[in-house]
Amino acid sequence: MTTVLRGCDLVDGRGTEPRRGVDVVVEGDTVREIVEPGNGDYPSAEVVDAAGMLVIPGLINNHTHGTAYGPLFPSGHEPLPLQQVNANLDRHLLEGTTAVLCVDGFITAEAVARTDEAHPVNVKAASCNTPACLEAAIVADGGGLTEENKAFTARQAVAEGAVALGEIGAGHTLGGGGASYLYIPEEIARRTGVRVTAWQANQLKIAVLGRHITTSAFDRDAVEEALAGANLTGKLSVEDAREIVSGVVLPAFDIALRGLAEAAEQARELDVPVLVHNAAASMTQVAAIARTDVRLIAGHSNHPSFTPREALDHAAWLKERGVVIDVSILDTFGGGRPDLGPELLYAMFEAGLVDTISTDYAAGHHDPILLAIDRATKAGVVGLPAAIAMATSTVADTFPGLAPRRGRIVPGAVADLVVTDPAALDDVRTVMIGGRIVVREGRRVTG
């Protein structure tokens, strides 16, 4: 079976300048050649008219949650229903992503294989099952962990196909986003019947424990203000709020911090990269790991818990020590969050700090990677070929087992291709995985 994407502009993932008006010829599951139009003769080929369209490699997303059947997050939360996992994968696919690294961390190899089989997106796993990370998960949540999940150690996971350790530490065990959008609102609702937003919970968290999560940061006036902002005045006292936030965040926190060093040591032994939760609360530990010789990926280095200056300086320091600097799109563009706009992301691009681009989860509301690339290139803070490489070839090179022979459109590569509108990059039209068209006209092909 031969398919020709005809007359497209091509950004091939290697970071080099676009080629205009070429044909991409796919044979079986492989890119066979890239030719000037009319220079190849493929009488029996299926021709996809891609004139005026942009072809890029399928994106490889190194930071996803809820993309495999099993406990959600590195806190071992109750699994999402299978349909929701499939819907999450559909969404990644329709956004142009053809391979994902699920960093939930406790999913068995068998469950990852089952997910991978059920959906065209290639799903690989990272494991966070080291003793301290497991303990932190059980203290923070652990509600979705079966005995099998608990017993499935990082060592075993790597032996059975996990390509990295990660996410080590997470918003759910390190007092980050997961505490703000999940556990703090749950506990407040249980006590008061009031459902606070993630933003309100986050304000309360910062008032009680600060951005770096320390008990000495407690600020009574700020707690009162946060309670008023969440319509909780009279329903919760300052001491109640302090107890709730501390009770959610602190028990797992120190254990999870210990887990960072422990997991880095195991990753070094197992010879796989380790992806860590890089945020204000964990930055000291992340810096300590950067001094060792493990292959380290600093996940979501644009985390909103950092001040912009702090994020930029920290990322520059890490990068000098060979750490891969990942940025996560989160809900930067569509979330309307007061604490998260594109400024820091843009500043990191402009400073040349970014190595890889992922989405992370953002309570299930992440924006498409291609939307971020569209906006960032239009803002002039990064060039298109460089930005596409950050979401394709660099990710494949950083995680060698994640997407072998993928991430570049060159002869001999696996044909994971995206056809999109150059004027609106997130308007993905066609997606091909392993030479098979799985999205046409922006819709998932079924059957």
List contacts with Zn ion (CB under 5 A): 170, 277
Helix (H) or strand (E) run with residue 102 in it:
strand 97-105
Minimum CB–partner distance for residue 315 and Zn ion (Å)? 15
- Residue with Cβ nearer Zn ion (103 or 418): 103
Q: What is the dihedral of CA 243, 203, 248, 136, to 10 degrees?
A: -140
- Residue with Cβ nearer Zn ion (170 or 241): 170
Tell how strand 436-440 and strand 443-444 pair up: antiparallel
How far apart, in whole angstroms, are the C-alpha atoms of residue 219 and residue 233? 16
User: Position 224: which residue type?
Assistant: E
How far apart, in whole angstroms, are the C-alpha atoms of residue 128 and residue 313? 27
- Residue with Cβ nearer Zn ion (119 or 277): 277
- Residue with Cβ nearer Zn ion (359 or 392): 359
How far apart, in whole angstroms, are the C-alpha atoms of residue 248 and residue 191? 13
Minimum CB–partner distance for residue 109 and Zn ion (Å)? 23
How far apart, in whole angstroms, are the C-alpha atoms of residue 161 and residue 115? 14
- Residue with Cβ nearer Zn ion (119 or 124): 124
- Residue with Cβ nearer Zn ion (23 or 141): 141
**Contact of 412 with 30, CB cutoff 8 Å:** yes
Minimum CB–partner distance for residue 361 and Zn ion (Å)? 8
Tokens of 400: 């060698």
- Give the three-class secondary structure for 352: coil
Minimum CB–partner distance for residue 299 and Zn ion (Å)? 6
Minimum CB–partner distance for residue 300 and Zn ion (Å)? 6
- Give the three-class secondary structure for 206: helix
* Integer angstrom CA distances of residue 381 from 344, 358, 443: 11, 17, 31
Minimum CB–partner distance for residue 177 and Zn ion (Å)? 7
**Contact of 68 with 102, CB cutoff 8 Å:** yes
- Residue with Cβ nearer Zn ion (92 or 277): 277
Minimum CB–partner distance for residue 208 and Zn ion (Å)? 20
Minimum CB–partner distance for residue 27 and Zn ion (Å)? 40
Helix (H) or strand (E) run with residue 54 in it:
strand 54-57
- Give the three-class secondary structure for 119: coil
Residue nearest to Zn ion (CB): 277
- Residue with Cβ nearer Zn ion (277 or 375): 277
How far apart, in whole angstroms, are the C-alpha atoms of residue 174 and residue 168? 10
Q: How many CA atoms lie within 13 A of 443 on its CB side?
A: 4
Contacts of residue 87, Cβ cutoff 8 Å, sequence gap at least 6 = none
**Contact of 150 with 134, CB cutoff 8 Å:** yes
- Residue with Cβ nearer Zn ion (286 or 437): 286
Of the candidates 426, 389, 421, the residue with the CA atom closest to the CA atom of residue 16: 389
Minimum CB–partner distance for residue 304 and Zn ion (Å)? 11
Minimum CB–partner distance for residue 65 and Zn ion (Å)? 9
Tokens of 106: 């406790």
Kindly report whether the peptide bond that precedes residue 167 is cis, defined as omega within 30 degrees of 0: yes
- Residue with Cβ nearer Zn ion (102 or 170): 170
- Residue with Cβ nearer Zn ion (172 or 242): 172
Minimum CB–partner distance for residue 91 and Zn ion (Å)? 19
Measured in residues, the chain has a length of: 447
